[in-house]
Amino acid sequence: MTLVDLTIPAPTEPQLAAVPVAIIGAGPVGLAAAAHLVERGIDFVVYEAGDRVGSSIRDWGHTRLFSPWRLVVDPASRRLLDAAGWEPPAPESLPTGLDLVERYLEPLAALEAIAGRLRTGVRVEAVTRQGMDRTRSVNRESTPFLLRVVSVDDTGQRTTEELTARAVIDASGTYDLPNSLGSSGLEPLGLADVADRVSHALPDVLGRDRQGFSGKHTTVVGAGHSAANTLLALAELAEQEPGTTITWLIRTAGAVRVATSGNDELAARASIGRRVDALVAAGRIAVADRFEIIRLRRTDHGIRLYGARAGELVEHETDLVVNATGFRPDLGLLREIRLELDDVVEAPKRLAPLIDPNLHTCGTVAPHGFAELQHPEPDFFIAGMKSYGRAPTFLLATGYEQIRSIVAHLAGDDVAASQVDLVLPSSGGCS
């Protein structure tokens, strides 16, 4: 019997350097990575699952950001745009999500240095090493990454490709994968039967989705700023549309992140808590606290929620539910990558203690870069909102500094990569 040696030879350094960096996601952080790689003279390809840049942001484009323009534009991206004659918005004004896409991301993606390296409508289904699953170690560091990507053309024809990369930056975000309504982390029993009456976070209550919420009783589940934004929009709708009523359902005794934002340095974020508190005090928003959802059941007119409160069974009836319980990272595509994630929040292990909501409620986080974002898989990084795992309060400025440090590291400039500097506005609500 003849044995065939199937060992894959290690690529030479010039061969590996000729392969581009892969960026997953064409949102603000993914495009910031592209801008920094342009400045460093490193080739790259951006893979975006949506048919346009910023596709997830467009879904909540009606929502106004807490951060002003000066904090949501990446410095390297700004330099490239300025060189092309970009007219920046007023630095202290607050963009909506759609403003961010149309006035910043679209012009950035259209720059010649980026446009030719951007592939939209292409979903990355898996990342691994070429010819290696996660168990193989020999020559691993010098072996290119392999990305399996899927695209669908206008006729519905599905095409699957496998493409190589010298490094991978996963900036795919978390908006498309909400946390469960169930307190156990599992989807509550009966969800499939009422899915048409459960909305994703940040619906366009006053615009695109107005008709569905008008005159209805809506229960918003969640204790963060996404829930608060929806509550404020529903309260405005209730002023205009008779019969519109609102319940705020939270698992704990109080919404800490919203309630502690009163002295936040971001004025827009600070006002959220005060405005919601005033509506609750006025009786315009009913509160169901310490409600742990177990099961959902369809009724003639809506949904009945079954839950537990302090060990007692409780019920709540409503027409509609908005799931504003937060988001979680999609780790399925990284099954063959060697990750080092925190057991609690599913963030990179060195970053997790800085953002774990069980430890503090700050809207700020200590400066961090490639060192805190490293995994056992060399030259693989999760950046942006996805780097926070299940933790809340991510700000774009954090993601931009992450990217600056990561790209400096990929360029071999570890001095710049290690000099991380980030000053974020305080939330005023640290414990």
Task: Please state, in angstroms and rounded to a whole number, the distance separating the CA atoms of residues 108 and 86.
Answer: 9
pLDDT at 416 over 80: yes
pLDDT value at position 4? 39
Domains delineated in the chain:
13-176+327-418 (3.50.50.60), 191-323 (3.50.50.60)
pLDDT digits (tens, 9 = 90+) for 273-325: 899 999 999 999 999 999 999 999 999 989 999 999 988 999 999 999 999 99
pLDDT value at position 425? 65
pLDDT value at position 362? 53
Q: What is the 3-state secondary structure (H, E, C) of the chain?
A: CCCCCCCCCCCCHHHHHCCCEEEECCCHHHHHHHHHHHHHCCCEEEEECCCCCCHHHHHCCCCECCCCHHHHCCHHHHHHHHHCCCCCCCCCCCCEHHHHHHHHHHHHHHCHHHHCCEEECEEEEEEEECCECCCCCCCCCCCCEEEEEEEECCCCCEEEEEEEECEEEECCCCCCCECCCCCCCCCCECHHHHHHHEECCCCCCCCCCHHHHCCCEEEEECCCHHHHHHHHHHHHHHHHCCCCEEEEECCCCCCHHHHCCCCCCCHHHHHHHHHHHHHHHCCCCEEECCCEEEEEEECCCCEEEEEEECCEEEEEEECEEEECCCECCCCHHHCCCCCCECCCCCCECCCHHHHCCCCCCCCCCCCCCHHHHCCCCCCEEECHHHHHCCCCCCCHHHHHHHHHHHHHHHCCCHHHHHCCCCCCCCCCCCC
pLDDT value at position 400? 97
Question: How many residues appear in the chain?
Answer: 431
pLDDT value at position 219? 98
pLDDT value at position 6? 38
Which of 131-135, 249-253, 258-262, 357-361 is predicted with the least confidence, judged by mean pLDDT? 258-262
Longest dimension (CA), the chain: 84
Per-residue confidence at 209, pLDDT binned at 50, 70, 90? very high
pLDDT digits (tens, 9 = 90+) for 156-187: 899 999 999 999 999 999 999 999 999 899 99
Burial of 144 (0-12, 13-18, 19+ CB in 10 A): buried
CA 429 to each of CA 201, 231, 261: distance values in angstroms, whole numbers, following the listed order = 23, 21, 6
pLDDT value at position 358? 79
Decide which of 411 and 424 is more confident. Answer: 411
- In the chain, the percentage of residues whose pLDDT exceeds 70 is 91
Structure tokens at 390: 């299940």
What's the whole-model pTM score?
A: 0.92
Q: What is the 3-state secondary structure (H, E, C) of 50-103?
A: CCCCCHHHHHCCCCECCCCHHHHCCHHHHHHHHHCCCCCCCCCCCCEHHHHHHH
pLDDT value at position 168? 98
Contact 392, 260 (CB under 8 A): no
pLDDT value at position 3? 42
Phi, psi of 19, deg, nearest 5: -90, 140
Q: Average of pLDDT values for 407-419?
A: 96
CA 421 to each of CA 72, 366, 367, 383, 401: distance values in angstroms, whole numbers, following the listed order = 16, 9, 6, 16, 7
pLDDT value at position 254? 77
Phi, psi of 307, deg, nearest 5: -155, -170
Structure tokens at 63: 């929502």
pLDDT digits (tens, 9 = 90+) for 47-72: 999 999 999 999 999 999 989 999 99
pLDDT value at position 259? 54
Q: Average of pLDDT values for 112-138?
A: 97
Q: Average of pLDDT values for 389-418?
A: 95
Q: How high is the mean pLDDT of the chain?
A: 91
